[in-house]
């Protein structure tokens, strides 16, 4: 980062405004006195025999005019100094807030009171900028913390495998490569999931019309081999559901839901139902899967990053399947919120989970 350029300190803005105010007052006074003098003295004859004549009045008027000009100058300087200080007070507050922000304190706000004017508009824009910067920094810190915490495990596993293999003369090279590949794949998936989560939170995407039913159909086709391998049937259908959003993010949202329903479908010969609905109040994507009974307290934690529930993790370990990195539903919730939608999770009667994503209509009807 380049160092800030050093500038020579010039006259302050307050002094500039003060001198400007004083200059306006003095010039206005000179013009007024000149006009009075010219207007009045033209009616006084400049004859020596007449007293007072024009010369006498001029000699009397000029010292008084000088005194008046000095008084006006003092009033202009004093009044200008006070008015300039009052006018520039909001800039001082904005400047102090900027200094605190430069030192790393992004929680401070200018928060100017009073009716709207140019200074308050500037302060509001500055506060909004600080709020976005604070949110962005917090997001980056969360990303760094999550990434460092979650990537520590695969890296430690890789290191342990290599150390064991180094000390084992009868090591199985092919088995070691396969295990390292699994660990590396999991680390890559985790990094991509964290990046996708960060992108959704920033809302760094362009909105365009998209049909959710087509995205659902594509996601089902992509994950059908996984479902067949696990003995899970998928039923996909529903209405043509148009929304405004990012096709890539919404595709990831539906893919995560279907993948989550397949992987966590622990019932033998289970099923997954994917539906899109267009309702008067919103557009909905519903993914329902069979499975074990889920406690309400467990369902409420499924959208938290890296939280999948102890019972489900143990079952996944028994099945030997790769169940993801614990960010599937967290990413779905962030993507839904980035599209001004919401995510609702409810236990399915008879076991399993019902997940509904509500998204607003692309062109909501205006009330009559």
- pLDDT at site 247: 87
Whether 252 has a pLDDT exceeding 80, the answer reads: yes
Q: How confident is the model at residue 242 (pLDDT cuts 50, 70, 90)?
A: very high
Average pLDDT, the chain: 79
Mind giving me the DSSP string for 278-294?
E-SS-EEEEEEE--S--
pLDDT in tens, 56-101: 777 777 788 888 888 888 888 888 888 888 887 888 888 888 888 8
Q: How confident is the model at residue 210 (pLDDT cuts 50, 70, 90)?
A: very high
Candidate from 177-181, 214-218, 235-239, 295-299 with smallest mean pLDDT: 295-299
Whether 195 has a pLDDT exceeding 50, the answer reads: yes
pTM exceeds 0.85, yes or no: no
Q: How confident is the model at residue 310 (pLDDT cuts 50, 70, 90)?
A: very low
Whether 1 has a pLDDT exceeding 50, the answer reads: no
Mind giving me the DSSP string for 122-172?
HHHHHHHHHHHHHHHHHHHHHHHHHHHHHHHHHHHHHHHHHHHHHH-TT--
- pLDDT at site 357: 94
- pLDDT at site 10: 72
Give the CB-side neighbour count of residue 239, counting CA atoms within 13 A: 12
- pLDDT at site 37: 77
Task: Provide mean pLDDT across the span 303-312.
Answer: 54
Instruction: Tell me which H or E stretch contains 346.
Output: strand 342-347
Q: How confident is the model at residue 359 (pLDDT cuts 50, 70, 90)?
A: very high
- Contact in structure between 272 and 287 (CB atoms under 8 Å): yes
pLDDT in tens, 110-168: 877 777 778 788 888 888 888 888 887 877 777 677 667 667 767 777 888 788 788 87
Task: Provide mean pLDDT across the span 24-34.
Answer: 85
Give percent of the chain with pLDDT exceeding 90: 15
Q: How confident is the model at residue 272 (pLDDT cuts 50, 70, 90)?
A: very high
- pLDDT at site 321: 46
- pLDDT at site 268: 65
Rounded Cα distance, 260 and 226, in Å = 11
- pLDDT at site 367: 52
Rounded Cα distance, 203 and 147, in Å = 20
Whether 313 has a pLDDT exceeding 80, the answer reads: no
Domain ranges of the chain: 13-105, 208-359
Task: Provide mean pLDDT across the span 251-262.
Answer: 88
What's 208-359's CATH class?
alpha beta
């Amino acid at each position: 980062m380049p160092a800030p350029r050093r500038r020579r300190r010039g006259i302050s803005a307050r002094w500039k405004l003060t001198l400007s105010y004083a200059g306006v007052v003095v010039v206005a006074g000179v013009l007024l006195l000149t006009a009075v003098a010219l207007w009045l003295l033209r009616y006084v004859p400049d004859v020596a025999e007449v007293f007072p004549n024009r010369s006498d009045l001029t000699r009397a008027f000029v010292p008084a005019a000088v005194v008046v000009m000095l008084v006006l100058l003092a009033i202009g300087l004093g009044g200008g100094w006070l008015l300039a200080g009052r006018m520039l007070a909001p800039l001082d507050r904005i400047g102090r807030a900027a200094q605190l922000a430069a030192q790393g304190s992004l929680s401070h706000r200018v928060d100017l009171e009073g009716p709207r004017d140019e200074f308050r508009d500037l302060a509001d824009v500055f506060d909004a900028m600080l709020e976005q910067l604070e949110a962005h920094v917090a997001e980056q810190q969360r990303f760094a913390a999550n990434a460092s915490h979650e990537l520590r495990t695969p890296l430690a596993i890789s290191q342990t495998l290599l150390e064991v293999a180094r000390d084992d003369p009868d090591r199985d090279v092919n088995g070691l490569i396969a295990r390292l590949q699994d660990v590396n794949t999991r680390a890559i998936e985790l990094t991509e999931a964290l990046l996708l989560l960060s992108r959704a939170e920033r809302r760094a995407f362009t909105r365009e019309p998209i049909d959710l039913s087509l995205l659902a159909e594509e996601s089902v086709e992509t994950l059908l081999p996984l479902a067949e391998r696990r003995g899970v049937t998928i039923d996909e259908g529903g209405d043509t559901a148009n929304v405004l959003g990012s096709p890539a993010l919404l595709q990831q949202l539906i893919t995560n839901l279907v993948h989550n329903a397949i992987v966590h479908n622990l019932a033998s010969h289970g099923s997954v139902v994917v539906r899109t609905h267009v309702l008067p109040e919103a557009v909905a994507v519903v993914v329902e899967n069979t499975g074990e009974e889920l406690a309400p307290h467990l369902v409420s934690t499924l959208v938290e990053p890296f939280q999948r529930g102890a019972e489900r993790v143990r079952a996944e370990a028994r099945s030997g399947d790769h169940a993801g990195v614990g960010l599937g539903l967290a990413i779905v919730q962030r993507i839904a919120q980035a599209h001004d939608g919401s995510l609702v999770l409810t236990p399915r009667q008879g076991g399993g989970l019902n997940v509904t994503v509500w998204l607003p209509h692309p062109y909501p009807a205006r009330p009559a």
